[in-house]
A and B are shown apart, each in its own frame.
Chain A
Amino acid sequence: MPGFMNIESYILLVNREEKFLNTVCQSLLDAGYPILTATTMSGALNLLSKHTVALIFSDTQLEDFSGHDFLKFLKNSRLLSKIPFVFFESVPSNEIADKAVEADSMVEEEVSKVLEAFEMGAADFIAYDPEEELATVLMERIGKMLPSMAGNERISESPKEADTKLSAQSAAAVSPGPQDRRDSDRNFIQPIENVELSRDAVLWLPGKIINVSAQGLLIQTSLLGRLDMLLYVRVSLPAGKRIVNSVIKHISIGKNQLSAEIGVQVETSKEWIETYTYITSVTDAGIKAAALDETPVIGKKIDVKMIMQADSNKTQRVDVEPLLDNFNNSGSEKALEIKFYRSLIGKQLGNYRAVSFIGAGAMGGVFQGWDVVLERHVALKVISYNLSTVESYRNMFFQEARLVSRLSHPHIAQIYHIEQIDDVLFFAMELISGGDLGDIIQDRNKLNMAEGLEYLITMCQTLDFVGRMNIVHRDIKPANIMINDQRQLKVVDFGVAIVNDGTDKRASEGLGSPLYVSPECIMGRELDFRSDIYSLGATFYHLFAGEPPFKGNSVEIVLSKHLNEALVPLKKVNPILSGELSDIIAKMMAKDPNERYQDYKVIIEALNALLHAT
């Protein structure tokens, strides 16, 4: 089977004798070469408009025009001029012998015809004896001109050159064809090097490097451009991404359904040297591996590397942006969940339209939605089918909806509706367009002290309201404190909240996020609003310090530190903060609930005093 580079490319044979064509064509097809044939120039051009052709063999005289006319036409076409063109002419051996003894003018005529062909841009000129096996001659020539199309066994099987053949090698040295020049220092590589291409450095499209030289790259891609157009090539190297400037020097399209092959000449730069070194090292590694091992397992070695590389990329992509990845192949629960959410994009769920997907969490996927009845934007939280099909979980979501419906507060995200349609259980909630406190933690330079204090005061007021309703949120953490475009905080996700009236059987279940969970929650004790005070203190410790109060390599270590380890004072981690704030956070995070603030109002007063003092 031909190599990948030309897996979709053909070899075009043009000869005025159809019977002869059929014979040669069959031999080449049997040998595994993709062949197209034509008897006329017009027929050949028709084939060139529909297929990608890598090499043309043409007789000097066709049914309608001469081979030279055909070559001239091709060389005037920007799109087709780069295809290597080889003449093959039948010259019986006895005729050549006769010519040798005939007048010098006859010989000169023959030579001038060959030289003219090279001057016009022919890559080679083969004169063959009709009694010779032409298919073998052509296979040998293909092997030399398109190594990626030829298996090694074919080259080794090539017969010795016939004495009667007018070999073009010497002539080619005088006027080398384009293919010959390209062959000079080209490295054929496995098409494993994925790159991205762009014309404006904004829109990037994928491509694969097919081969590389010190001057440029041949890339299989869907992005087209014009010759001499600037093209940015972005390559992922182990040291990071590199962008190389290049100019399009060759475009090969033709067959409708295929990607293009673009040859680019690169601008010499540090980035290009790094890129070239890396790509050739990958290639060399493959070649050396082949040389070291006599058994034909080179392909397997490279494949393993490719597979590992592809797998690592796949994992990364799934983590970063699972929804956009249409190529995740995992049958894991997470991948199946993502497939489920993807199926709902652009759909109508009752009175709500799923406009766009926002993200997926442990409980479900969130979409930006539109309420067609009340004509307002909403967030649609579609519950994971794994949870929604289990009655106890389904009840939990209904309970959350009922709970939040009791909490009418400007800083608590409202749940408008809960419904199950065709086994799809979803909430329609207040849409908060913005980020969450986690985003602010990541970009703390934009947060000033006063703003941070105001946020903390707002949260205390909100949780004071929640606590007075005998509700414990139990999962206060940065991700559950949203911030809308007006910089207003909104508490979300009451999925694990409990009503602290002694009737909730889940009260003793250990839940919450390890980085912010209270000691009493870890120990499974009865919880009250002071547990949320601890989690709120831990959340704002993270915000002001830039790191969570307790860290560790495992959940167990972090939980153990919550229980046993003394808190490093906030001021010690971030010395520019006031000692008072450090003390307030420390008291909020006291291990013993009785040593914490016993009322949010006291915290609010202390914070207000601090705010006015700054």
Chain B
Amino acid sequence: MVVSEFHQAITIIYHEQEMEVISMKKILGIDCSPTVAKTVSGLLGENDHIQYENFHDEMVLNDYDMIILWMGQRQSNVVEQICKLRYACNFQNIPIILVHGEQQDVSSQPYVIAGATEVLSLVNPSPACKHIIKGYLVPSREPLAEEIEYLNPFIKNTCHVLKTMASLDVTFKKVYFSNTIRIFGDISGIMGLSGNAEGTLVVTFYWDLAKMIIARMMGTEEDSIDAELIHDGVSEIINMISGSTKKEFVGTPYHFEISLPSVVVGPGHQIGYLQHTSVAVLIFQVGNQSFALHVCIKPKAKMP
């Protein structure tokens, strides 16, 4: 074997090893009994690394690709656990799969509203469970060029609005795509878009960050900010983000008109969106807190 061939072979092996490492997913199983853990591990196979823990309030979830939570407690407790886990995800797109062993249907509504991605009975045929779990482990896609084209102005103006109005340094962290707008924060401002392009724009905060931003916008102490002021402030933020971004789309297929802003409180609400259109979830960071901007926009006119 000549040296170059050797190097090539080593490179291939290394590359294969690297691919193996890349494809290995890190999964956290919570409150799973040994029997449940065995079942879950069996579904996932050897390529995925799953570790098990009992639930506690200080869980750090940043490094995980998936959370599998066993529904071993009363509904209210599980809902509370999911709320805390979703909050700990800090708007990151980490699937939370709630698994149970019930034969009959378990209403998924309270859990999905709290932040669960899917509710799955392990009594279902294992190929179904396996494919659904594996499906959520398939890597998320990157934005398309045409999506970047319309997302960049939103990113720029979101940072700019909060810098100007609240003297806050906001950094764009990442984007992921969904097929629905489901809100897991405490309060959201919603703007309907119409005109050349139509869609929906939603900014979502957890309460503490919203309160801090509104206090800074008003130049006052956080203690003096009540729920109504936060409501008005969030409404104003979405108004400003959409208003300032709108100007940048004049003359493009993404030019839109804005309507009245609405405000939603409470987690887990699903907002109407355009069919067959992806929803970009832009995650921004302010200090160690995050907020999200959901962008669902579709040009009516054909792209040039």
Contact = CB atoms under 8 A, between A and B. Distances in A.
Interface in A408-459: 421-424
**Which residue, of B105, B182, B192, B262, has the highest number of chain A Cβ atoms within 10 A?**
B262
Nearest to A384: B131
A225 B141 contact: no
Interface in B113-147: 118-121, 123-125, 127-128, 130-142, 144-145
A46 to B, nearest CB: 8
A49 B109 CA distance: 28
A260 B186 CA distance: 12
A389 interface: yes
Contact of A339 (B118, B145, B271): B118
A200 interface: yes
A423 B262 contact: no
B265 interface: yes
Given A79-B227, A259-B265, A323 B179 contact: yes
**Which residue, of A199, A256, A337, A370, has the highest number of chain B Cβ atoms within 10 A?**
A256
Contacts of B228: 78-79, 251, 253
A574 interface: no
B259 A200 contact: yes
A572 to B, nearest CB: 39
A333 B128 CA distance: 8
A260 B263 CA distance: 11
B134 A422 contact: yes
Contacts of B128: 333, 336-337, 339-340, 385
Contacts of A346: 93, 140-141, 176-179, 278
B139 A424 contact: no
Nearest to B210: A256
Given A345-B177, A368-B276, A423 B264 contact: no
B19 to A, nearest CB: 13
Given A326-B270, A329-B105, A368-B276, A344 B265 contact: no
A423 B227 contact: no
A353 B144 contact: yes
A248 B121 CA distance: 42
A301 interface: no
B69 interface: no
A224 interface: yes
Nearest to A253: B227
Interface in A203-254: 203-206, 222-225, 251, 253-254
Nearest to B269: A222
B290 to A, nearest CB: 17
Contact of B272 (A204, A253, A257, A354): A204
B144 A326 contact: no
A213 B286 CA distance: 46
A508 interface: no
Contacts of A337: 128
Interface string A318-331: 00000110111111
Interface in B86-127: 93, 95, 105-109, 112, 118-121, 123-125, 127
B107 A423 contact: no
B266 interface: yes
B180 A324 contact: yes
Contacts of B182: 326
A370 B144 contact: yes
A164 interface: no
B135 A347 contact: yes
A386 interface: yes
Contacts of A292: none
Given A423-B130, A423-B131, A222 B140 contact: no
A310 to B, nearest CB: 9
B226 interface: yes
Nearest to B267: A257
B179 A202 contact: no
B231 interface: yes
Interface string B253-287: 00000011011111101111000111000000000
A316 interface: no
Contacts of B270: 324, 326
A424 B226 CA distance: 50
Contacts of B231: 224, 253
A121 B287 CA distance: 45
Nearest to A50: B227
A340 B135 contact: yes
B9 to A, nearest CB: 25
A348 B192 contact: no
B266 A347 contact: no
B141 A354 contact: yes
B190 interface: yes
A358 interface: yes
A356 interface: yes
A156 interface: no
A357 interface: yes
Contact of B179 (A260, A345, A385, A389): A345
A203 B226 contact: no
A421 B182 CA distance: 28
A258 B186 CA distance: 8
Contact of A355 (B106, B144, B190): B144
B108 A327 contact: yes
Nearest to B183: A222
B265 A258 contact: yes
Contacts of A347: 135, 138-141
Contacts of A375: 145
Contact of B120 (A256, A257, A339): A339
Contacts of B262: 199-200, 203, 205, 223-225
Given A329-B107, A339-B132, A424-B134, 12 more contacts: A78-B228, A199-B262, A203-B192, A327-B107, A327-B109, A327-B112, A339-B120, A340-B128, A343-B131, A353-B141, A356-B179, A357-B179
15 contacts: A203-B259, A254-B227, A326-B109, A326-B182, A328-B108, A336-B124, A336-B128, A340-B131, A345-B178, A346-B179, A353-B141, A355-B144, A355-B177, A356-B276, A386-B127
Q: Would you list the 3 A-B pairs with minimal beta carbon distance, nearest first? A: A343-B135, A346-B177, A353-B141
